[in-house]
Amino acid sequence: MKKYIVCIATLFVSFIALSQTVDRYEIKHLSDINTKYSDFGVAYYGDDQVVFASSRKVRSLRNRTWANNSQPFLNLYQGNKTENGEILDIELFSSKINTKYHESNAVFAADLKTVYFTRNNYFDRKYKKDEDGMNNLKLYRAHINEKGLWGDIEDFSFNNDSYSVGHPSLSSDGKMLYFISDMPGGFGKTDIYYVHLLEDGTYGEPINAGPMVNTMNREMFPFLSKKGILYFSSDGRSGLGSLDIYKSVVSDGGTVYSNSKSLESPVNSVWDDFAFTINEKDSTGYFSSNREGGKGDDDIYFFKETITGVQYVKGIIKDDGIGDLIPGVLVSLYKDNVEIEKVITGDDGGFSFTVDCESNYTILGTKKGFIDFSKDFVTSNEDQLEIELVIELKDEDIVEIDGIDFININPIYFDLEKAIIRPDATIELQKVITVMKRYPQMIVQLGSHTDSRNTNTYNDALSSRRAASSLEYIVSRGIDRTRIFGFGYGETQLVNACTDGVKCSEEEHQLNRRTEFVIIRYN
């Protein structure tokens, strides 16, 4: 569970390093289930079964042929999964879900009573096309009825005859559904989107996963693991082949934290590699590829991920003053003083890096208007590891002195025995006004001070007049009077040795004729 420490400091960042494995895989071609046709897209169906798509010929079907590749239309099949990844006892999935057109890419809710799947735009026996005569893909949802049979198929409202929606993947808590679409407004040919699923069965509006995932080309086949790693395929990056498999870290709310990273060979190849799924309990899973050495068109491969202790470091940056998450912070990761990666925080203030075990790292962060931060940390060699680092990131207009936060301005000085705001003081007072408007619930205590010349009684009254004139100037510029109050301290808090009877220069006396702004609270 994430723990966030509230600091007096204006901003902080919290990190959690999560155990993960290195990008080296042992793969196995599943020759017993692959055919000369297209076989791909394995989905877990409970602990012991899987469901996948195939265009194989089946005697019980009419095996109508799709003109684009001269293969039968895709159907969903199910089979039993063995410990070594083999898939046995293959049979057609539900006859209510499979139709005479394409079905593929299914994903199941945790209770196995709801399935999301891709199908041609064919619903209630109606086959629809767009204006160009193209039959697009749609995303559907079905439920188990009282007899244990699939039915009650639903068409999502964000489906459209004019574009495709498909390739579903669920978060482990069932609250987010990822999918792909070429709907208008995306970054490229097909983008990855997600939508929040509500407890009453309704859902929100589709949200684009953003530029850390999506490119000008195709992003396809998303899979969100239980650890919050989004795996997907793309041909929009300089990978090994056409479609390559990548991964990014996402937040609980769906926002992508980290730049996408390519999986290593032999999972990725110079051919199309896609439909990656993983069971993180035993670091095994499946992916699909049309690489050489297969049995047919697209084939299914089983993999075992080897463990060497690579970890993910996730973090968020928050403004502790007002509680807002901070986007647009440039966060750089250094290993042994060499920069190896940098990201910019998104709207949720989040970011992530992949780090090695037993290594020295430094995190640096910069954003205009804030003081740069840095933090050193060392990773261990533990397979299961959680690290929490707290880093202070302060507004550059706020400074901490002896544990007290001040608005960071140049001292406001007054002429001898005067309480009139000087022109140079108006510049500094405007800085105070700007900070207080930036933090609309900030409470400030104004303190005015005099030098030691004249009597204590006179100086007490003079400093009170100076405090009042400064306060009235700020209030007259739009700051609520209840948010700022002032005190005159007279000569009781001198900053140097210029007390009564001590000979000092005019410059030394002027250092004591100052006004300061202490932050009492932010909200």
> Phi and psi (nearest 5°) for 389?
-115, 135
pTM of the model: 0.66
Quick check: is 81 in a domain? yes
What pLDDT, on the 0 to 100 scale, is given for residue 21? 40
Counting residues of the chain whose pLDDT is more than 90, the rounded percentage is 42
In terms of average pLDDT, the best of 105-109, 282-286, 371-375, 445-449 is 105-109
* Predicted pLDDT at 307: 56
Q: Identify whether 266 is preceded by a cis peptide bond (ω within 30 of 0).
A: yes
Q: 417 and 511 in one domain? A: yes
Residue 341: per-residue pLDDT: 84
Write down which residue in 289, 308, 327 finishes a domain.
Answer: 308
Work out the pLDDT band at 68, boundaries 50, 70, 90. confident
20 has a pLDDT exceeding 80:
no
Look at residue 349 and tell me whether its pLDDT is greater than 50: yes
Residues found in the chain: 523
Residue 444 placed within a domain: yes
CATH of residue 375's domain is 2.60.40.10
CA-based nearest residue to 290, from 39, 25, 31: 39
Q: What's the Cα-to-Cα distance from 1 to each of 252, 349, 350, 396, rounded to whole Å?
A: 12, 18, 16, 32
210 or 4, which is more confident: 210
Structural domain contains residue 297: yes
Residue 449 structure tokens: 């001070």
Residue 301 pLDDT class (50, 70, 90 cuts) = very high
pLDDT band at 352 (very low <50, low <70, confident <90, very high): confident
Q: Say whether both 381 and 465 belong to one domain.
A: no
Is the four-CA dihedral 312, 318, 323, 324 of positive or negative sign? Answer: negative
Q: Compare 375 and 170 and report the one with higher pLDDT.
A: 170
Would you place residue 522 in the very low, low, confident or very high pLDDT band (cuts 50, 70, 90)? confident
**Strand order across the 191-196 sheet:** 165-170, 176-181, 191-196, 207-208
Residue 52 lies in a domain: yes
Give the dihedral of Cα atoms 105, 228, 277, 152; nearest 10 deg: -30
The answer to whether residue 64 scores a pLDDT higher than 50 is yes
Q: Is 151:142 a contact under the CB 8 Å cutoff?
A: yes
Instruction: State residue 154's pLDDT score.
Output: 94
Q: What is the mean pLDDT of residues 98-114?
A: 95
- Per residue in 358-415, pLDDT tens? 788 888 888 877 878 888 888 776 544 444 554 556 777 888 777 788 888 887 777 7
26 by Cβ neighbours in 10 Å (0-12 / 13-18 / 19+) ranks as exposed
- Residues contacting residue 326 through CB under 8 Å, at least 6 positions apart: 11, 317, 318, 319, 345, 349, 367, 393
DSSP bridge partners of 116: 107, 141
Token representation of residue 276: 């990656």
Pick from 292, 302, 286, 252: which is nearest to 270 by CA?
A: 292
Range of weakest confidence among 109-113, 147-151, 377-381, 503-507: 377-381
Q: Looking at residue 470, what is its pLDDT?
A: 87
Both 65 and 207 in a single domain? yes
| Cβ neighbours for 122, distance < 8 A, ≥ 6 positions apart | 99, 101, 128, 135
Contact call for residues 12 and 306 (beta carbons, < 8 A): no
pLDDT at 29: 96
- 299 Ramachandran zone, left/alpha/beta (phi>0; psi -120 to 50): beta
Q: Are residues 299 and 371 in the same domain?
A: no
Look at residue 309 in the predicted model and tell me its pLDDT: 55
pLDDT at 165: 97
The per-residue pLDDT for 264 is: 84
Domain assignment present for 87 = yes
Average pLDDT over residues 54-73: 83
Q: Look up the domain containing 88 and give its range.
A: 21-308
The answer to whether residue 5 sits within a structural domain is no
Shared domain for 263 and 336, answered yes or no, is no
Under DSSP, is residue 243 helix (H, G, I), strand (E, B) or coil?
coil
Q: Which residues contact 103 (CB under 8 A, 6 or more apart)?
A: 53, 74, 75, 76, 97, 117, 118, 119
> What does the pLDDT look like over 448-500, one tens digit per residue?
888 878 888 887 888 888 888 889 898 999 999 999 988 887 777 888 888 88
Question: Is residue 341 exposed (0-12), middle (13-18) or buried (19+ Cβ within 10 Å)?
Answer: middle
Instruction: Name the band, by pLDDT with cuts 50, 70 and 90, for residue 69.
Output: confident
Region 153-178: mean pLDDT is 95
Residue 2 lies in a domain: no
Position 279 scores a pLDDT of 93
Distance CA 278, CA 43 (A): 9
Segment 286-314 shows an average pLDDT of 84
pLDDT number for residue 376:
82
* Percent of the chain topping pLDDT 70: 90
φ and ψ of 456, to 5 deg:
-60, -45
Residue 63 pLDDT more than 80? no
| Least trusted range by pLDDT, from 62-66, 117-121, 294-298 | 62-66
Query: E strands of 449-491, at which residues?
Result: 484-488
Same domain, 391 and 431: no
> CATH no. for residue 473?
3.30.1330.60
Which pLDDT belongs to residue 379? 78
Tally of domains within the chain: 3
Residue 105 has pLDDT above 60, yes or no: yes
Can you tell me the distance from the alpha carbon of 21 to that of 307, in angstroms, rounded to the nearest whole number? 5
Asked whether the beta carbons of 39 and 54 are under 8 A apart, the reply is yes
- The verdict on 255 and 353 lying in the same domain is no
Beta bridge partners of 503: none
Most confident of 20-24, 255-259, 282-286, 513-517: 282-286
The CA-CA-CA angle for residues 400, 405, 408, to 5°, reads: 75
Whether 328 has a pLDDT exceeding 90, the answer reads no
For residues 299 and 446, membership in a common domain is answered with: no
In a domain, 6, yes or no: no
DSSP 72-128: EPPEEEEEEEPTTS-EEEEEE--TTT--SS-EEEEEE-TTSSEEEEEEESEETTEE-
Could you tell me if 91 and 222 lie in one domain? yes
Strands 443-448, 484-488: parallel, antiparallel or unpaired by DSSP?
Answer: parallel
Which pLDDT score, from 0 to 100, does residue 12 have?
43
Residue 320 clears pLDDT 80, i.e. is over it: no
Distance CA 342, CA 351 (A): 9
Residue 220 in 3-state DSSP? strand
Does residue 121 have a pLDDT over 70? yes
Shared domain check, 163 and 188: yes
Q: What is the mean pLDDT of residues 158-183?
A: 96
Q: What is the DSSP string of 368-431?
A: TTB--EEEEEE--S-SS-----EEE--BTTEEEETTEEEE--PPEE--TT--PPPHHHHHHHHH
pLDDT at 425 over 80: yes
Write down the mean pLDDT value for the chain: 84
Contact 435, 407 (CB under 8 A): yes
Q: Based on the domain organization, do 225 and 340 belong to the same domain?
A: no
Last residue within a domain, chosen from 242, 276, 308: 308
110 and 64, same structural domain? yes
Single-letter code of the amino acid located at 388? E
Of 292, 308, 324, the one marking the end of a domain is 308
Q: What is the pLDDT of residues 214-248, one digit of tens each?
A: 999 999 999 999 888 899 999 998 877 789 999 98
